A and B are shown apart, each in its own frame.
Chain A
């Protein structure tokens, strides 16, 4: 028997948990060795669903329209804190309104009520309405005639003073940083604020729910269809088989669309109450205020070092604006892990305020931590008159210092070298020579770290039919990363079929083939090995059948490019020669993701170098060029991998230059919860982006040797830009983003 249940560790966003995983020894496959000539893996491939997205035919949750479908709207707290009184009956009697849910329900769903009469944060849901038309829904909301008694908001600085925390401040310690700092030959201290950063997916949070008896079907713009299914089943007292979650096309997530979300819960509740399908779509303003955000932080980093640049102490005090609650993300991780240092102390103060709880946005915590730590490193380089890249090389470490485990692979030094070469790092001081345009130029670098190993469970099925085509079934919800195409490539490689003969589906819990959430850069390292294993089994079966048909031993046969050949070359036939004999039967292979390798930490690394031009008269900073070199193990699809990097860098540019969610001090409400005042980059703001990878398989990761890429590219960008700004001007701002206001103040 080849299937076993094993205990293994899986990782997400740096959190490790032990899980039981069903593994199949038959699924174990060797990584293709370095230098193997592969047919499709490692070659650029366009997206399987590209044409459908480009033609406007792709149907996102917001496009789903069912017969008799109602429109839902939510009444939300207009101020940060208040007590609300509603006229539910008046709303119920509005023409076209079919159901009204107040804070007391009535609810079918169990557990934490989504609605409340005493909202704690701006935008918190108070009531929900389902109506025939958007106009009737709006009228229903208005008819609730809410009366509010405002309660003063909880501000950040007051919260810090009063020690109002969402959980106990966390201290982490290694060695004796006090002693080390006292003895340090060089010491720098830097304080910087990093902004609240809103995911702003272009498709807002949305859900459509429809009941048929006790069976619930939900379309939801989510990054986790199986998480959504579990949540909905639990809340509505259903078996998981009674819930089907669909997310074939998702208009961006970036961390902010987890599970079912209040949208799917409310839509399902209203659909239950009315007996009709219900669609709930957030307005853009709602999405900006309640969709989530990367938390604002204020961090003070103190570095101690020897005169030669060897780090001896790192201290971090991080104040985090948590909003109402939420997970404290690993803002301290870079201090502990980015560089070799025996003495580290971090204190994280998670302050409770009157905003919606902060949530995950692409590499949560680590972006914030790297943004400040890397600026401090550059200050140290200046203090010691050392090249900033050289300082980083000197403090390189091959092991995860928290566990003393080696990294499964770490090619950071190669990333530094390659980035330096591509950026022209050795001539960067020449940038500071004045040019005719009067702008000040500079170049800065930053190191990237993140996790990238994923883990079980993850499954895949591969089915080959008489036509010689393969259908791969996964639970992947492709949020724009192109992971369905990655799976297509891996399956095609293992099967020996051309890409056009392989199709991959996902985005549907119906087939019950599990994949984890599209988050934590997990999908490639978690799901692709399962896909490869499934394909491997199907190929084996196919060759066995070919042996029957062709009357030659299976050991003497190979498949490549859709043709079955004998190893001596005498036999060479189309795959269909064999598969047509299947008739209505199919060849099926199922694969499971094996356990994570023990004794390693699986992390990704990289280096980005930015070049900026600063107009000192106006405070405008232009990012002219970003070089991004990352080590994420084997690259399966260089086309979509480069797109991930460009996308992360552009989000990092926005974080560094213009994006910040600002809160009105009087009412605790965000002042810029609209796209006219929350400024994301346009095509004109984009620097030249040069992308490269240290594209070598991680030999300690079985099967594929690939680590996750979704999050790494956003991690170091803002730090590199801030460092380039300092190189250009000799100044730093005490907060990001580098708006004209802050730049002019810093240069004054």
Chain B
């Protein structure tokens, strides 16, 4: 079946089964490997992308459900994520980096809605992105840094 997907501002006409998961289509058909398959169960957030600007897990979504909607992956965040990515590097909010694209997607989405999030708001927004290396304290610092709050 031909589905038209809008990914990172580009329209793609793809021959795909609509039940195939969005993450698989992104990674295998469109070679957008930034979003990762960490669990395939929605439990880790490494597959996070924006759907019409809202952060969602992409490993459970059938691609048919997103036809006609705007999908943005880490590769397509562009300038919107630049400050977040710089802050992640500066604060060392990454170690193995496997969860990082998903973290950046969630963090970018948070800051677009809440310019100056509290610690609680950061926790609430980021609680779906697991990090086994344990970069959480630095992710928090990075987000606060982007919000312009000096960190002790």
Instruction: Give the B-binding residues of A (Cβ under 8 A).
Output: 46-47, 49-60, 62-63, 65, 134, 199-204, 249-252, 254, 281, 283-284, 479-482, 639-640, 642-643, 646-651, 674-676, 680-684, 686, 689
Task: Kindly state the separation between the CA atoms of A684 and B128 in the bound complex, as whole angstroms.
Answer: 10
Chain A residues lying within 8 Å of B94, measured Cβ to Cβ, are 47, 50, 53-54
CB of A46 within 8 A of CB of B92, answer: yes
Q: Is the CB of A647 within 8 A of B85?
A: no
* A-side contacts of B14, CB under 8 Å: none
CB distance from B127 to the nearest CB of A (A): 5
- Whether B134 contacts A649 by the Cβ 8 Å rule is yes
Q: Is B75 located at the chain interface by the 8 A CB criterion?
A: yes
B95 touches A203 (CB 8 A): no
Measured between beta carbons, the chain A residues less than 8 angstroms from B46 are 202
Which 4 A-B pairs have CB atoms at the shortest separation, nearest pair first? A56-B34, A53-B97, A480-B96, A251-B98
- Give every chain A residue within 8 A of B74 (Cβ-Cβ): 55-56
- Identify B89's interface contact among A47, A479, A650, CB under 8 A: A47
Cβ–Cβ < 8 Å partners of A201 in chain B:
96, 98, 132
Cα(A54)–Cα(B135), bound, Å: 13
Given the interface contacts A203-B36, A251-B36, A684-B123, does A58 sit within 8 Å of B136 by beta carbon?
A: no
Which of B98, B122, B123, B133 interacts with A60 by CB under 8 Å? B98
Task: Please give the residue numbers on chain B whose beta carbons come within 8 Å of chain A beta carbons, in ascending order.
Answer: 24, 27-28, 31, 33-41, 43-44, 46, 73-75, 85, 88-90, 92, 94-101, 104, 122-124, 126-140
User: Do B133 and A480 touch across chains, with their CB atoms under 8 A apart?
Assistant: yes
Q: Is the interface of A mostly helix, strand, loop or mixed?
A: loop
Min CB–CB distance A688 → chain B (angstroms): 8
A684 to B127, CA, bound (A): 6
A65-B28, A284-B41 are known; give 5 further A-B pairs, CB within 8 A. Answer: A55-B101, A201-B132, A202-B46, A203-B36, A647-B134
Flag if B98 contacts A252 (CB, 8 Å).
yes
Contact B100 A54 (CB under 8 A): yes
The reply to whether A682 and B127 form a contact with Cβ atoms under 8 Å apart is: yes
Question: What residues on B are CB-neighbors of A640 within 8 Å?
Answer: 92
Are A674 and B95 in contact, CB atoms less than 8 angstroms apart? no
Q: Are B140 and A683 in contact (CB under 8 A)?
A: yes
| Chain B residues near A203 (CB-CB < 8 A) | 36, 38, 96, 98
Q: Return 6 A-B CB contacts under 8 Å, by A number.
A: A46-B90, A56-B34, A56-B101, A201-B132, A251-B97, A643-B134
Chain B residue at minimum C-beta to C-beta distance from A64:
B33
A residues near B36, Cβ cutoff 8 Å: 60, 62, 202-203, 251
B102: shortest Cβ distance to chain A, in Å?
A: 9
Contacts of A676 in B (CB 8 A): 41, 43
A56-B75 contact in complex given A51-B85, A203-B36, A283-B40, C-beta closer than 8 Å: yes
| Cβ distance A311 to chain B, nearest Cβ, rounded Å | 33
Partner of B134, one of A50, A249, A251, A651: A651
Residues B132 and A202 in contact, CB atoms below 8 Å apart: yes
Task: Across the interface, name the chain A residue whose C-beta is closest to B59.
Answer: A284
**B39 with A646: CB separation less than 8 A:** no
B39 engages A675 (CB within 8 Å): yes
Q: Distance in Å from the Cβ of B121 to the closest Cβ of chain A?
A: 12
Contact residues in A for B126 (Cβ distance below 8 Å)? 682-683
**Structural contact, A284 and B39, CB atoms closer than 8 A:** yes
Alpha-carbon distance A255/B114, docked complex (angstroms):
39
Give the complex CA separation of A651 and B136 in angstroms. Answer: 12
What residues on B are CB-neighbors of A58 within 8 Å? Answer: 97
Q: How far is the CA of A284 from the CA of B129 in the complex (A)?
A: 16
User: If A647-B135, A675-B39 touch, does A202 touch B75 (CB 8 Å cutoff)?
Assistant: no
The interface centre, meaning the residue of B74, B123, B132 with most chain A CB atoms within 10 A of its CB, is B132
Instruction: Give Cα A275 to B94, complex, Å.
Output: 38
A283 to B138, CA, bound (A): 29
Which residue of chain B is the closest to A283 with respect to CB atoms? Answer: B40
CB pair A53–B43 under 8 Å, yes or no, is no
> Chain A residues with Cβ under 8 A from B90's Cβ?
46
Structural contact, B44 and A202, CB atoms closer than 8 A: yes
Cβ distance A267 to chain B, nearest Cβ, rounded Å: 17
Given contact pairs A65-B31, A251-B36, A683-B139, A482 touches B132 in the complex (Cβ within 8 A): no
Write out the residue numbers on chain A whose beta carbons fall within 8 Å of the beta carbon of B75.
55-57
Distance between Cα atoms of A542 and B104 in the complex (Å): 42
Instruction: Please tell me if the beta carbons of B97 and A249 are within 8 angstroms of each other in the complex.
Output: yes
User: B136 contacts A686, CB within 8 Å?
Assistant: yes
Chain A residues closer than 8 Å to B138, beta-carbon distance: 643, 646
Residues of A with C-beta under 8 A to B39: 284, 674-675
CA distance A50 to B73 in the complex (A): 19
Q: What are the residues of chain A within 8 A of B97 when measuring CB–CB?
A: 49, 52-54, 58, 249, 251, 480
Contact B95 A482 (CB under 8 A): yes
Most buried by B among A50, A250, A649: A50
Contact of B24 among A63, A134, A200, A686 (CB under 8 A): A134
Tell me the nearest residue of chain B to A651, going by C-beta. Answer: B134
Cα A157 to Cα B4 in complex, Å, equals: 58
Q: In the complex, are the beta carbons of B132 and A680 less than 8 A apart?
A: yes
Bound-state CA distance A216–B140 (Å) is 43
Distance of A56 Cα from B103 Cα, bound (Å)? 11
A250–B73 alpha-carbon span in the complex (Å): 21
Q: Which residues of A contact B88 (CB under 8 A)?
A: 50, 54
The chain A residue sitting closest to B39, CB to CB, is: A284
Identify which of A47, A60, A199 contacts B92 (C-beta below 8 A): A47
Q: Contact partner of A646 among B73, B85, B123, B134, CB < 8 A? A: B134
Once bound together, how far apart are the Cα atoms of A249 and B97, in whole Å?
A: 8
Q: In the complex, which residues of chain B have a beta carbon less than 8 angstroms from the beta carbon of A200?
A: 132
A201 to B133 alpha-carbon distance, docked (Å): 8
Q: Which residues of B contact A674 (CB under 8 A)?
A: 39, 41, 43
Does A54 lie within 8 Å of B44, measured CB to CB?
A: no
Identify the closest chain A residue to B17 (Cβ).
A135
- Tell me whether A643 and B98 are in contact (CB under 8 A): no
Residue in contact with A53 in the complex, picked from B27, B31, B100, B136, CB distance below 8 Å: B100
Q: List residues of chain A with CB within 8 A of the CB of B40.
A: 283-284
Tell me whether B35 and A56 are in contact (CB under 8 A). Answer: yes
CB distance from A625 to the nearest CB of B (A): 12
* A251 and B127 contacting across the interface, CB-CB below 8 Å: no
In the bound complex, CA of A58 to CA of B89 (Å)? 14
Q: How far is the CA of A648 from the CA of B132 in the complex (A)?
A: 10
Contacts of A63 in B (CB 8 A): 27, 33
Residues of B within 8 A of A65 (CB): 28, 31, 33
B38 contacts across to A, CB distance below 8 A:
202-204, 284
Chain B residue at minimum C-beta to C-beta distance from A685? B136
Q: How far is the CA of A284 from the CA of B98 in the complex (A)?
A: 14
B86 to chain A, nearest CB (A): 8
State the CA gap A639–B24 with chains docked (Å): 36
Q: How far, in angstroms, from A680 to B38 measured CA to CA in the complex?
A: 14
Chain A residues near B129: list those with CB within 8 A. 682-683
Which B residue sits closest to A678, measured CB to CB? B43
CA gap between A60 and B124 in the complex, in Å: 29
Question: Closest CB-CB distance, A517 to chain B, in whole Å?
Answer: 16
Q: How far is the CA of A647 from the CA of B98 in the complex (A)?
A: 14
Which residues from chain B contact A134 at a C-beta distance below 8 Å?
A: 24
With A and B bound together, what is the CA distance between A324 and B16 in angstroms? 43
Shortest CB–CB separation between residue A224 and chain B, in angstroms?
Answer: 16
CB of B14, distance to nearest CB on chain A (Å): 15
User: Considering the chains assembled together, what is the distance between the CA atoms of A643 and B131 in angstroms?
Assistant: 12
Most chain A beta carbons < 10 A, residue from B37, B126, B128, B133: B133
Q: Is the CB of A683 within 8 A of B127?
A: yes
Contact yes or no, A252 B96, CB < 8 A:
yes
